[in-house]
Structure 1
Amino acid sequence: MSLFMSTDRRDFLVSLGTLLGSAALSAMLAEDAASTTTEAQDQLAGPLSPKPGHLPAKAKNCIFLMMEGGPSHIDTFDPKPALSKLHLKEFSREGERKSAMESGKRYYVESPFRFSRHGESGADMANNWTHLARIADELCFFRGCQVDSVNHPTAMYQMNCGNRFGGDPGLGAWVTYGLGSENQNLPGFLVLPEVSYPQGGAANWSNGYLPAFYQGTPLRPRGSPILDLQPPPHVTSERQRANLDLLGQINADHAAEHPEHDELRARIESYELAFRMQMEVPAAIDLSGEDADTLSLYGVGEAATDAFGRK
């Protein structure tokens, strides 16, 4: 039976609205087959395809842990001897206020921890870091950052986006923009919140003025990691395939007539990625294949570390 005879316009549009399928399966197959010329590869490569860096890479992976409300730098790896001399003395900025939260008197407070130098590098570390001190020479301490905000949201923006007012691309967006992603079945920039989202919300992983491909995709800490990832139960795979094939043909015809409109390619890429995510996301978060020793190393199963370890 013809697709147009069995599906009315309203039913067709509703089905498309609930699907997170690929509008460009044929383009995916073409991309795999297009290895004859560099030009063809460049035309078919997606925005998240891996890109070479400007300099040879020295690291294969980087794990970025942004701990909202984490330990202070002056209590960990950045001793401030002058604070001991100023301890409990009042200070003011001579009328300058960084936030409406600032009120009343403020005092200098020294760190409650003592510091020692460790390793051949002589790295300063608070004495409560007994294990970390043993590998001090394997660590790199960067003390060149400065923040001028006393509020959590604006300080978070400045840390993640470089601007305390928000609106600029996040660190993950820039990395994905510059290097792409090795996994084409997941968003290039994933956000793994622990129990709840950080203060300031989605602006912390914004794509800013970069294309929307590079916006962070948060995985929910509880329940389904991404809402509406799977099609509804009443949508069969055959119906989904027929709808996607038709949409792919319509998009291809429109793109051929209007090659100057690159927004269509962005929409096709989003459908394509979402379709692949239907299978990839459940597998990516499934820890059932990990042995007990590995789970224990990450603190999975322990009340204090389970949520963080699973990330």
Structure 2
Amino acid sequence: MTKLEHFLREYQQQITRRWFFKQCGVGLGSIALGSLLQQELAPAAHAAAAPSGPMAPKAPPLPARAKRVIYLFQAGAPSHLDLFDYKPQLEKFNGTLPPADLLKGYRAAFINPNSTLLAPKYKFAKYGQSGAELSEILPHLSKVVDDITIVKSMQTDAFNHAPAQIFMNTGSTQFGRPSMGAWTTYGLGSESQDLPGYVVFSTGTKGTSGGAANWGSGFLPTAFQGVPFRGQGDPVLYLSNPAGIDDRVQRDSLDSIRRLNEMHFADVGDPEIHTRINSFELAYRMQSSAPELMDISKESKETLEMYGAKPGESSYANACLLARRMVERGVRFVQIFHEAWDHHSGLTKGLKDQCGKTDQASAALVKDLKQRGLLEDTLVIWGGEFGRTPMVQGGNDGRDHHPKAFTMWMAGGGLKPGLVYGESDEFGFNAMKDPVHVHDLHATLLHLLGFDHTKLTYRFQGRDFRLTDVSGEVIKGLLA
């Protein structure tokens, strides 16, 4: 190696290491401690037995009401007008054109803005002490209505599925930003030694329109991205050893690979190499922890019946039960993507079918968490990427995309239970009272987790990025 080549190599290593210490939020002390722990706890045969570095649990900077999140993402966008936001005016003026001033400046996704108004497809009634109005096809949610917080004045910036889903999950309509789950694990680390900090399920009829960007880590280290779990077979693909490979052979192989990766890290200082090392070791530990976690047959008969869960199946009900089992074991963020609500036509049957698949398990999750003393510090979130129009589409049985007003519900984690917050106008078209933008929702959820949303940042390409971009306010009226 010439003197010039030696100088360039040394210079590259110094620049890369300075970037690592500055950008990744990992101090020299924590790195040294992680190294000592690895030497003490993992001499060759059991390397990295405990998490250290970026995934280690951290104390939030502010008093936190919530420690973990279960996000029931109803992809495709459920109709708020047929489930949560009853509008007598839609029944009164069913089949007539909406007022002209209502549509001023309106940009439709697919339908003619002059389409006629469509009455709700199902009857509504008031439930609980809160008197919240719910559709008749949500009988199970009606029984826990005083434990949930309903927001009827949600607003978003996007009206097509992929950008709207990504916006709801990352705070941006563009690919490449960290998801809320990634921000949460970045800020809090993981409480589990043997499971990922952020786990994802997909239970709908197809994958999400926004794809893996909905649970990605963006420019954050990839250690913080969501790990997709399956409802049947191996929880994670290729988790089981192939034929002829026993535990000893696997351990020896992992130790050899680890040493090679550490040599590579010493040369280039790329933090993604440590992510790779941690991924291998976590997968090794998951071979024991994940099968036990996924075996819901050990749950009581009463619990299985409450969720409508059936061992061995892949379903929304099973995923909700598994979400509870995961947060009990220290998983920080569990997200269930149920892509099945895009009812441009077939609205009446579609809503009934999907409520039949999701209502019981969603309500059971709230009830189960409360019974176990977990609801008070677990945030449960239910909702899609936008709402649906009060105007008809698809003959007389469909609604188009609508970003100006929609409904979400949440529970636990410091939220005010039995609250109905915000209002849309008499046609359910615009959020009229106490509007809540997606950035406001994110700011509030981060607040409950113990973060000032303006200070949970990550420097990338010369800018300090955050989940709420440059907007968002904590909605204090939602807080208990």
Q: What is the aligned length?
A: 273
In structure 2, the residue matched to 1:271 is 280
The structure that is strand-richer by fraction is 2
Q: Superposed, which structure 2 residues align to 1:28-67 within 5 Å?
A: 30-31=37-38, 33=40, 45-67=52-74
Q: Superposed, which structure 2 residues align to 1:69-218 within 5 Å?
A: 69=76, 71-80=78-87, 83-84=90-91, 87-90=94-97, 97=107, 99=109, 101-102=110-111, 106-113=115-122, 115=124, 118-126=127-135, 129=138, 132-133=141-142, 135-195=144-204, 196-218=206-228
**Deviation for aligned residue 1:212:** 0.8
In the aligned structure 2, how far is the partner of 1:165 from the partner of 1:108? 33
Corresponding residue SS for 1:274 = helix
In structure 1, the residue matched to 2:252 is 242
1:271 partner letter: F
- From 216, 220, 223, the equivalent of 2:233 is 223
Q: Larger deviation: 264-273 or 245-254?
A: 245-254
CA contact (8 A) 1:98 1:148 kept: no
CA deviations over 1:52-93 (Å, ceiling 9, x no partner): 223333245432211224642222333445545654344686
CA contact (8 A) 2:239 2:283 kept: yes
Q: In structure 2, do the counterparts of structure 1 residues 223 and 55 end up closer, same or farther at CA, with 3 Å as the change threshold?
A: same
CA RMSD of aligned residues (A): 3.5
- From 243, 255, 265, the equivalent of 1:233 is 243
**Structure 2 unmatched ranges of 5 or more:** 1-33, 42-50, 320-480
1:284 partner letter: L
1:237 partner letter: D
CA deviations over 1:256-286 (Å, ceiling 9, x no partner): 565x433322221222212212222212111
Corresponding residue SS for 2:134 = strand
In the aligned structure 1, how far is the partner of 2:249 from the partner of 2:226? 31
Say whether 1:308 aligns with 2:316. Answer: yes
**Deviation for aligned residue 1:96:** 6.5
In the aligned structure 2, how far is the partner of 1:122 from the partner of 1:150? 31
Corresponding residue SS for 2:57 = coil
**Structure 1 unmatched ranges of 5 or more:** 1-26, 35-43
CA contact (8 A) 1:300 1:306 kept: no
Q: Percent identity?
A: 37
In the aligned structure 2, how far is the partner of 1:292 from the partner of 1:105? 52
In the aligned structure 1, how far is the partner of 2:176 from the partner of 2:234? 28
CA deviations over 1:164-212 (Å, ceiling 9, x no partner): 3443222221221222221121221111111542233212212122211
In the aligned structure 2, how far is the partner of 1:145 from the partner of 1:190? 26
1:277 partner letter: M
What TM-score, normalized to structure 2? 0.49
CA contact (8 A) 2:221 2:272 kept: no
Larger relative contact order (C-alpha < 8 A, sep ≥ 6)? Answer: 2
What TM-score, normalized to structure 1? 0.72
